Amino acid sequence: MAEIVRRGCLLLADISGYSAYVGGVELEHVHDILADLLSMLARELCPPLELAKLEGDAVFCTAPDSESIDGRALLGTLESTYLAFARRRRTVALSSSCRCDACRRTPELDLKFCVHHGSFVEHEVAGRRELMGPDVVLVHRLLKNTVAEIHGLRGYALLSAACMDALGISGLEAHAERVEDVGEVQCGLIDMRSRWEEHESSARSVVSREDARFVLEADVSASQQEVWDAMTDPAHAMRWRVGADEIDERNPPAGRGVGTVTHCVHGRTTIDQEILDWLPPHHYTFRERNPAGECAWTVSLAPVKRGSGTHIEWRIELRGGRLQAAAMRVMAPRMRRVLRQNFDALLAHVRALGPAHL
């Protein structure tokens, strides 16, 4: 039978961070989580694409030109699939029925897409459908790229120039990869994680850097989940909060999250906090009443731009009106000093604890 050469889009959706994630977690849960995520990806991508095969921790899809997909449809599919992945990742991490390491560390996983346009042929090998051809090889080689090193991204879409030209896509951030036996491949890059964060923050309560009166930030080598636990678990907080004698936490029926109220006792002073927004392990926002008046805090955690670790950011907005603003002319230096003492104590606590203790 003569081989039929087809042309179209070749797309790989690859779960990144999987190899590091597998180490030290419960394998039976790992395989269940991976199967769940891969099934979800296949459902989101197909249609409009066709499923070619599952490849370990990746989904390989095609969109033949005879069943064409335009640029707008492709970009929409990439974004909706990433958002679905991020929501599912969060749901697994927040599962109240299982607190094993595999579920708890699910936020360490991310998703990247590599998309190319070219020719391919279909073969049946050992009873399985296989796609072959130089362009199939090229899209797979694009998975091993320098995006993380150059741009500091883990969740992204990398589209070859051939793909963008064929589908009429323009305006993406330029990126080039040198591919063995091919040479330099021009590409366009989309930061998918930022799309997710924008999507979530549009309906959330988050203190921005622009609105914050005080901002404290630092990088640590611990993972987001490890820092999250150190920040939100009262047992940890008692070990780093300066001057805290007691922390009383009252949770809603669903557990710690929006609606949780905390009373932090410092001698004769009690600081009251109520969680307004809760997105583990990315950020949480709480309303606080302290001797300086009413404030809103957003604690934000994000992967460091290069390498491994977590960027911690505290953003504090004053919400006590004119009287508080006037008092800050005198109180601001002391409040800044107290915030710095607590922030430094948190950093020391996180850096002193190994992963086994967090």
pLDDT, tens digit, 9 for 90 and up, residues 15-55: 987 777 766 666 667 778 888 899 999 988 988 899 999 99
Gap between the Cα atoms of 131 and 161, Å rounded: 21
Instruction: State the pLDDT at residue 269.
Output: 86
Gap between the Cα atoms of 140 and 138, Å rounded: 5
Q: Is the pLDDT of residue 256 over 90?
A: no
Question: Does residue 89 or residue 41 have the better pLDDT?
Answer: 41
Instruction: State the pLDDT at residue 308.
Output: 78
Gap between the Cα atoms of 9 and 77, Å rounded: 13
Percent of the chain with pLDDT over 90: 51
Q: How confident is the model at residue 180 (pLDDT cuts 50, 70, 90)?
A: confident
Question: Does residue 335 or residue 303 have the better pLDDT?
Answer: 335
Whether the ω angle into residue 234 lies within 30 degrees of 0, i.e. cis, is: no
Gap between the Cα atoms of 8 and 62, Å rounded: 7
In angstroms, how far is CA 243 from the centroid of its own chain?
Answer: 33
CB 53 within 8 A of CB 129: yes
Gap between the Cα atoms of 114 and 32, Å rounded: 25
Q: Is the pLDDT of residue 64 over 60?
A: yes
Question: What is the set of domains in the chain, with CATH numbers?
Answer: 5-199 (3.30.70.1230), 205-357 (3.30.530.20)
Side-chain half-sphere exposure of 146, counting CA atoms within 13 A: 11
Residue 149: count of CB within 10 angstroms of its CB:
10
Mean pLDDT in residue range 179-186: 91
Question: Does residue 67 or residue 263 have the better pLDDT?
Answer: 263
Q: Is the pLDDT of residue 203 over 50?
A: yes
Mean pLDDT in residue range 297-321: 89
Three-state helix/strand/coil letters over the chain: CCCCEEEEEEEEEEEECHHHHHCCCCHHHHHHHHHHHHHHHHHHHCCCCEEEEEECCEEEEEEEHHHCCCHHHHHHHHHHHHHHHHHHHHHHHCCCCCCCHHHHCHHHCEEEEEEEEEEEEEEEECCEEEEECHHHHHHHHCCCCCHHHHHCCCCEEEEEHHHHHHHCCCCCEEEEEEECCCEEEEEEEEEHHHHHHHHHHCCCCCCCCCCCCEEEEEEECCCHHHHHHHHHCHHHHHHHCCCCCEEEEECCCCCCCCCCEEEEEECCEEEEEEEEEEECCCEEEEEEEECCEEEEEEEEEEECCCCCCEEEEEEEEECCHHHHHHHHHHHHHHHHHHHHHHHHHHHHHHHHCCHHHC
CB 139 within 8 A of CB 12: yes
46 contacts: CB under 8 Å, gap ≥ 6: 61
Average pLDDT of the residues of the chain: 87
